[in-house]
C-alpha cells in the first residue's frame, strides 16, 4: 500500500486521466480534491496522513479507490470506490436507476450505492457515486491460479446469472412506471421541468399504443450486461462458504432488450484465453480441465 505522503507528493505515477481524457483534471491535482472529499464526507475525524487514493482508468467513468488506514492500526483498513461519470448527467441517473433495480434481484451481485450527488458543487467539483469496495480480484487476473473445482463454481454461478436475468412480466406497465417514476426517484429530471411532463406523457401513450397493437405479446425482455467479460467479474476464492463471484462490475450500463440479444455465451469461460469465435473454437477440450 502506498503511503499517504507519497500519494500526495508523488509525480512518478502514470497519469492515466490526463493521457486518455484531455478535458479531465489530471490526477496530480485531482488527488487533492479526493482528499478534501474524503475528509469532509467519509472520514471527518481522520487525518490526511491516514487517507490514500488511487485513480483507476475507466472508459465511461473515472474510478477512484479511496482508503483509510488509522495510524498504528494496520489491520483496520476501510475502502470505498468513487465513480465519476465522464459525460452528461443523464448517464449518472441511468447508472443509479439500473443499480437500484439490480438490488431488488440478489442473484446478480452488484456494487452498492452508498450515496451520490447529481450536482458538481461539492469537494470533488463533479457528480459522483460513492460505492462499497469489492474484495477479491478480477477473473481475468486470477483465472489461471484457480483450481478446477473453483473454475466449475465460477461457471455454475455465471450460469445462474445467464439463466435467470431480471425481467419485467408486463412490458407495458414496466415502461410506463419507468417514465413516471424514474426521474422522480432520482430527483433529477432529464429535461427541464417544463419540457419533461409533455415528453413523459408522449412516451406513456407510445407504450400503450404499442401494447394495443401487439408489439409486446410473447416478447420476453430481460436485462443485458453489454460487457460481461473476465475483467468485469470479481472473484474471491478465500471464503469457501460464500459464492466465489463477489461482484459483477459495469452493471450500470446494462439495458433492457429482447432475450435473443442476451444469448451470446461466455466463450472465454471454456476457451481458457483461446479462440473467441465459436465457429473456430475446438469442438472438444484437449483435457478434462479444458
Q: What is the mean pLDDT of residues 265-276?
A: 59
Question: Which pLDDT value is given to residue 107?
Answer: 67
Highest mean pLDDT (candidates 52-61, 134-143, 266-275): 134-143
**Lowest pLDDT segment from 56-60, 175-179, 222-226, 279-283:** 279-283
Strands 113-117 and 233-235: unpaired
| Predicted TM-score (pTM) of this structure | 0.66
pLDDT: which is higher, 97 or 127 = 127
Alpha carbons 179 and 235: distance in angstroms, whole number: 36
| Averaged pLDDT for residues 105-121 | 82
pLDDT given at position 3: 33
Which pLDDT belongs to residue 1?
A: 33
pLDDT digits (tens, 9 = 90+) for 179-224: 776 555 444 444 445 566 778 888 889 989 988 988 888 777 777 7
Q: Which long-range contacts (CB under 8 A, 24 or more apart) does 116-120 make?
A: 116/92, 118/89, 118/92, 118/93, 118/186, 118/187, 118/188
Report the distance separating Cα 96 and Cα 113, nearest Å.
Answer: 8
| pLDDT at site 160 | 80
Q: How do residues 64-106 score in pLDDT, each as one tens digit?
A: 999 998 887 877 889 999 988 876 655 677 778 778 777 776 5
The reported pLDDT for the residue numbered 44 is 92
pLDDT at 168: 67
Q: Is the pLDDT of residue 287 over 70?
A: no
Q: Which residue has the higher pLDDT, 171 or 23?
A: 171
Q: Is the pLDDT of residue 49 over 80?
A: yes
pLDDT for position 130: 93
Which residue did the predictor score with more confidence, 270 or 285? Answer: 270
Mean pLDDT (the chain, rounded): 75
| pLDDT band of 19, cuts 50, 70, 90 | very low
pLDDT single digits (tens) 229-266: 888 899 999 888 888 999 888 887 777 776 655 666 67
Percent of the chain with pLDDT over 90: 19
Q: What are phi and psi of 130, to 5 degrees?
A: -100, 125
Amino acid at each position: 500500500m502506498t503511503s499517504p505522503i507519497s500519494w500526495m507528493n508523488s509525480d512518478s505515477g502514470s497519469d492515466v486521466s490526463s493521457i486518455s481524457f484531455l478535458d479531465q483534471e489530471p490526477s496530480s491535482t485531482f488527488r487533492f480534491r479526493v482528499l478534501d472529499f474524503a475528509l469532509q464526507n467519509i472520514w471527518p475525524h481522520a487525518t490526511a496522513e491516514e487517507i490514500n487514493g488511487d485513480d483507476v482508468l475507466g472508459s465511461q467513468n473515472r474510478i477512484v479507490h479511496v482508503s483509510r488506514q488509522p495510524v498504528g492500526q494496520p489491520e483496520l483498513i476501510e475502502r470505498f470506490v468513487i465513480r465519476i461519470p465522464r459525460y452528461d448527467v443523464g448517464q449518472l441517473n441511468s447508472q443509479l436507476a439500473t443499480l437500484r433495480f439490480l438490488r431488488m434481484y440478489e442473484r446478480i451481485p452488484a456494487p452498492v450505492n452508498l450515496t451520490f450527488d447529481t450536482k458538481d458543487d461539492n469537494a470533488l467539483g463533479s457528480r459522483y457515486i460513492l460505492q462499497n469496495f469489492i474484495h477479491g480480484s478480477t477473473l481475468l487476473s486470477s483465472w489461471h491460479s484457480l483450481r478446477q473445482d473453483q473454475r466449475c463454481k465460477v461457471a455454475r454461478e455465471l450460469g445462474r446469472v445467464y439463466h435467470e436475468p431480471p425481467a419485467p412480466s408486463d412490458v407495458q406497465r414496466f415502461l410506463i412506471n419507468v417514465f413516471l417514476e424514474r426521474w422522480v426517484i432520482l430527483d433529477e429530471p432529464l429535461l427541464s421541468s417544463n419540457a419533461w411532463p409533455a415528453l413523459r406523457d408522449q412516451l406513456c401513450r407510445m407504450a400503450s399504443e404499442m401494447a394495443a397493437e401487439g408489439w409486446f405479446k410473447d416478447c420476453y425482455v430481460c436485462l443485458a450486461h453489454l460487457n460481461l467479460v473476465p475483467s468485469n467479474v470479481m472473484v474471491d476464492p478465500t471464503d469457501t462458504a460464500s459464492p466465489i463471484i463477489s461482484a459483477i462490475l459495469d452493471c450500470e450500463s446494462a439495458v433492457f432488450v429482447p432475450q435473443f440479444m442476451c444469448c451470446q455465451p461466455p466463450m472465454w469461460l471454456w476457451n481458457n484465453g483461446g479462440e473467441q469465435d465459436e465457429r473456430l473454437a475446438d469442438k472438444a477440450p484437449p483435457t478434462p480441465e479444458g
